[in-house]
Structure 1
Amino acid sequence: MQIEKNYSKEFEYIQKAYDKAGGDVSGLLTKDIVSIIVSGHKILGRNTVEGVHIEADCDENHVKLYFKVDDGVVVKKPVHLCVGYLKDFGEQNLDYEFDIGNNVIINFISHCSFPAAKDILHKMKSKMIIGNNSKVTYEDVHFHNEEGLVNLDTDYETIVGNNSKYDNRFTLTKTRVGNMKIKMDVDLKDDAKAYIETKVREKKDDYVEINEILRLNGKNSSGIAKTFVIATDESKAKVITEAYGNGDYSKGHIECDEIVDGPKVDLSTIPLLRVKNELAELTHEASVGRINSDQLETLMSKGLTEEEASEMIIKSILK
């Protein structure tokens, strides 16, 4: 990858933020890795390999990325999406379109960093169409900061073709959230499989809305939707998980695990299961409550304070 000369200084700041978010920027610069670096509404650099096509359309208010993967392409190394916004105030708008062919294997890793944010809005809309007999994973890791406010609006819309597999995981656990709204909506065709997961840790007065949806439209389609929320201090969260059993012999499972750790936490979880085919099967399980007291006592008996023990348990849950 070649970094545009005018953006070399900006790339240095993005590199530092990317490292904090858990990424390895050195991997973005090799020729055999598909990668793209976005700062604000600018493309700082990009690289691709045979069979993977990337087009970009940018202006001062918007970035639109179009990814096309040809039939039969197996991308051996993860595709890296490095996204950052370095200003204190402002707005970042991203639109992604993915056209994944048949018999494709590809893994996406996205790291989003907002290290200087005092009050920003980050909006991301992703539309992905996956062909037949393909396997796609998408991991989205966010790194905000502890002092400022990030307003996050993230929307994934995915169609999974016949006999394809899709795995989408969103994680925001290393820093404060701010205000977050996230939606994952998956439409599964015949024999398609999906796993979707949102994992968030809230602090102070963070606010989170999560909506995960499985549309099991195909015969023998199956899906799992999971949420993990750790709500502390005065944070609030609303979690809605939905599964629709429409296809013959379709199976869906939704699971919500929420832990509250603070006297002013406000957290709700709402499951919605709807079967429109007598051959479909949907299940649900949920837990909302404090940290396990037995685990706390065991760790405290080994010399840890209650706060230290709680932190250790939370970190183990969020791994």
Structure 2
Amino acid sequence: MNNDYELMLKAYEQSGGERKIFTSSKFPHLLLKENKILSSSGIEGLELNIKETKTGIKGEIRAKKGIKIPEKVHLCFGVIPEDGLQEILVNFIIEDGAEVSFLAHCTFPNSVKVKHIMKSEIKLGKDATMEYSEFHYHGEKAGALVFPTIDAHVSEKGKFRANFFITSGRVGKLVIRYRVTVEDYGLAELVAKAYGKSID
């Protein structure tokens, strides 16, 4: 087995995930180590248009009109060394009536000076539903520098839920910036839980 792949699977498990997610074609997923895509699998009605960059990835994930994705879409972004920069620049478009749930694990198990930046624009169509749950593990040494930014627009009767959790290991420095605009009869729920230790 590719060493990078095995390292990422171990890091994924440390952040609370199950490795079977990335060893079965049943689950739509994206597995990223630093700026290298190790595994990617889509599903009918869900487009993953992602490209590698010098510092991470950029692109778009789109759920087509009316599609209901039965399985969670699993995302894993990891940095294995003690330091490094990872930038996730991915936009999400959830078309009218579509329903999709994302489960993301961000894992930096050896972090001393890892910097992780995520910037996303999210557009939900009418009656569309999207949930994005994000679980972080920054190791036990010094944590990481983490800067997630979301700018979301929820159309009429749309539903958007975002969950951010870091409940084990060190945090480091965390700055969350979420902005959501909601049209008539729409819903937005934003939840963040971070347990600090030492000088976090």
TM beyond 0.5 = yes
State the match for 1:204 in structure 2.
198
State the match for 1:88 in structure 2.
82
- Secondary structure (helix, strand or coil) at the match of 2:65 reads coil
Structure 1 stretch displaced more, 71-80 or 49-58: 49-58
Distance 2:43 2:10 in 1: 26
Distance 1:20 1:35 in 2: 18
Distance 2:46 2:140 in 1: 37
5+ unaligned residues in a row in structure 1: which ranges?
Answer: 207-319
State the match for 1:279 in structure 2.
none
Match of 1:107 among 101, 104, 116: 101
- Secondary structure (helix, strand or coil) at the match of 1:202 reads coil
Runs ≥4 in structure 1, deviation > 6 angstroms? none
Q: Structure 1 length as normaliser, TM-score?
A: 0.61
Distance 2:24 2:9 in 1: 15
State the match for 1:79 in structure 2.
73
- Secondary structure (helix, strand or coil) at the match of 2:176 reads strand
Matched, 1:44 2:44: no
Distance 2:111 2:59 in 1: 24
Matched, 1:148 2:166: no
Q: Structure 2 length as normaliser, TM-score?
A: 0.96
5+ unaligned residues in a row in structure 2: which ranges?
Answer: none
Distance 1:191 1:89 in 2: 44
The residue type equivalent to 2:15 in the other structure is A
Are the aligned partners of 1:32 and 1:48 in contact in 2 as well (CA < 8 Å)? no
Match of 1:169 among 163, 168, 192: 163
Tell me the CA shift for residue 104 of structure 1. 0.8
State the match for 1:30 in structure 2.
24
Matches within 5 A, 1:222-241: none
RMSD over aligned CA atoms reads 1.2
Match of 1:189 among 178, 183, 193: 183
State the match for 1:315 in structure 2.
none
| Per-residue CA distance 1:133-164 (angstroms, 9 max, x = gap) | 11111100001111134111111111111101
Tell me the CA shift for residue 88 of structure 1. 1.3
Tell me the CA shift for residue 196 of structure 1. 0.5
Structure 1 stretch displaced more, 148-157 or 10-19: 148-157
Matches within 5 A, 1:206-285: 206=200
**Relative contact order, higher structure (CA 8 A, sep 6+):** 2
Aligned residues: 200
